[in-house]
Amino acid sequence: MARDSTHVLKLVKCSAIALAALMAAGIVTLMFLARGTGEDITGIVAPALLITILSSVVAISAAVMQRREPKASDVRPNNDLTG
C-alpha cells in the first residue's frame, strides 16, 4: 500500500513540475511576442503566474509527503493497540 501511494505522489509531483515549467515557458513566449506591440498583457500573465506558483506549491507538498510516507508506514504497525 505504501508503494502505491508513493508512486501516486511521485506522479503528482512530476505533473506539477511539468505544468509549472510549461506555464513559465508560455509566459516568457507571450512576453516575447507582445514586446513590440505596446499592448497590456497583465490580464493574461497574472493568472498564468498564479497557476505556476500553485503548481510549485503542489509539487513541494507532494515531495514532502512522498518523503514522509515510508516513515509513516513503519510507525503504523508499532502503534497498533488492538493486538
- For residue 55, being part of any structural domain is answered with yes
Q: For residue 24, give Cα distances in angstroms to 18, 31, 33, 59.
A: 10, 11, 14, 15
Asked if residue 80 belongs to a domain, the reply is: no
**Domain span at 51:** 2-70
- What DSSP character marks residue 79? T
What total number of domains does the chain contain? 1
pLDDT of residue 59: 92
Domain-embedded: residue 24 = yes
pLDDT for the residue 15: 92
The confidence score (pLDDT) of residue 83 equals 54
Confirm whether 81 is domain-assigned: no
**pLDDT averages per 10-residue partition of the chain, 83 residues:** 76 91 91 82 87 92 85 62 59
What HEC string does 4-52 produce? HHHHHHHHHHHHHHHHHHHHHHHHHHHHHHCCCCCCCCHHHHHHHHHHH
Q: Classify residue 76: in a domain, yes or no.
A: no
Q: What is the pLDDT of residue 2?
A: 54
